[in-house]
């Protein structure tokens, strides 16, 4: 991780869960981390904690609604002005709504497409532009995917969500191919976890907190820190090593 010291990382959805853990880990390794979310109160608190702990990097909170392209473009413009550009992008923000294919609301489907697919694609495009403008040839784009992007489970509430994560699988491999065609050494990776103990299930089942809690009580789940460790592993790989996808489940998880 030595070569990343002082360089700029963007982490989307950095206020809670996996995003917050990844942001903290990157700051611990000396990176300048722009952490964005719709609400930055929790990121501001995390930034203060990182500073108090004496971590060598810095966390910079940025308010951005990733379902709004104008806000994404404005964020990249601000990063360019203040920090030159982005060298590492962690496309972490994602959401699931309980909208089955036969009866789901279009609004919920659209929300998932906007954040899980469109925002990832827009951020990726803008990060690549940022790298090219500055002749950065060793950048890294990491998409936080899901095991739902590799198999469809018999649970109607997450079928559309699964479709968006299959899109992330295809986008990451497509990106890898285009980066090769462009003759760059910029790398693309996705990390696909199974059950991670975060607030994810409570947002998915916001009308049924008992069901959400049960999701995490049945087995010993992955922690957000396990995901952060996977990100550090990916970034630590030698420049000639391309890690395409890390699929990781809790040991006790079946599907």
What is the tens place of the pLDDT at every residue in 82-91? 999 999 999 9
Q: Identify whether 166 is a catalytic site residue.
A: no
Q: How confident is the model over 130-154, as a mean pLDDT?
A: 98
Residue of 161, 166, 216, 233 marked active site: 161
The Cα 227–Cα 116 span in angstroms is 18
CA distances in angstroms from 14 to 21, 177, 208, listed in the order given: 8, 28, 25
Q: What pLDDT was estimated at residue 213?
A: 83
pLDDT tens digits along 180-222: 999 999 999 999 999 999 878 788 888 788 887 887 888 999 9
Return d(Cα 107, Cα 11) in angstroms, integer.
26
- pLDDT score at 201: 78
Residue 210 is predicted with a pLDDT of: 84
Q: What is the mean pLDDT of residues 221-249?
A: 97
| Mean pLDDT on 173-186 | 98
CB-CB contact of 254 with 150 (8 Å): no
Residue 33 pLDDT > 80? yes
Q: What is the mean pLDDT of residues 25-39?
A: 97
- Say what the pLDDT of residue 238 is: 96
The whole-number pLDDT of residue 200 equals: 81
Residue 85, judged by CB atoms within 10 A of its CB (0-12, 13-18, 19+), counts as buried
> Whole-prediction pTM value?
0.96
Q: Residue range 61-81: average pLDDT?
A: 98
Which SS3 state, helix, strand or coil, does residue 78 take?
helix
Residue 66 pLDDT > 90, yes or no? yes
% of the chain beyond a pLDDT of 90: 91
Q: CA angle, corner 140, sides to 136 and 142, nearest 5? A: 155
Q: The dihedral of CA 97, 101, 104, 107: what is its sign?
A: positive
User: Six-digit token pair at 119?
Assistant: 């925002």
Nearest to 221 by CA among 247, 194, 201, 203: 194
At 77 the three-state DSSP class reads: helix
Closest residue by Cα to residue 19 from 93, 101, 124: 93
What domains lie within the chain, and their CATH numbers? 2-248 (3.40.50.720)
- Would you list the DSSP string of 23-49? HHHHHHTT-EEEEEES--HHHHHHHHH
* The predicted structure's pLDDT at residue 202: 81
191: phi then psi, degrees, rounded to nearest 5 = -120, 120
């Amino acid at each position: 991780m030595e070569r990343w010291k002082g360089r700029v990382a963007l982490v989307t959805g950095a206020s809670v869960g996996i995003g917050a853990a990844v942001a903290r880990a990157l700051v611990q390794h000396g990176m300048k981390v722009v952490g964005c979310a719709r609400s930055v109160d929790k990121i501001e608190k995390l930034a203060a904690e990182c500073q108090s702990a004496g971590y060598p990097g810095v966390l910079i909170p940025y308010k951005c609604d990733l379902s709004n392209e104008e806000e994404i473009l404005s964020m990249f413009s601000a990063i360019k002005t203040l920090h030159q550009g982005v060298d590492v992008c962690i496309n972490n923000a994602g959401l699931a709504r309980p909208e089955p294919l036969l009866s789901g609301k279009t609004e919920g489907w659209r929300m998932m497409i906007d954040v899980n697919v469109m925002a990832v694609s827009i951020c990726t495009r803008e990060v690549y532009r940022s790298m090219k403008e500055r002749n950065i040839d060793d950048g890294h784009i990491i998409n936080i995917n899901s095991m739902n992007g590799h198999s469809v489970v018999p649970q109607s509430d997450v079928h559309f969500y699964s479709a968006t994560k299959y899109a992330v699988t295809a986008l990451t491999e497509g990106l890898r191919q285009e980066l090769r065609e462009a003759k760059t050494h910029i790398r693309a990776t996705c990390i696909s976890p199974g059950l991670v103990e975060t607030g994810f299930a409570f947002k998915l089942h916001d009308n049924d907190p008992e069901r959400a809690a049960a999701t995490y009580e049945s087995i010993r789940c992955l922690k957000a820190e396990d995901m952060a460790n996977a990100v550090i592993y990916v970034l630590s790989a030698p420049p000639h090593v391309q890690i395409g996808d890390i699929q990781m489940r809790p040991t006790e998880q079946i599907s």
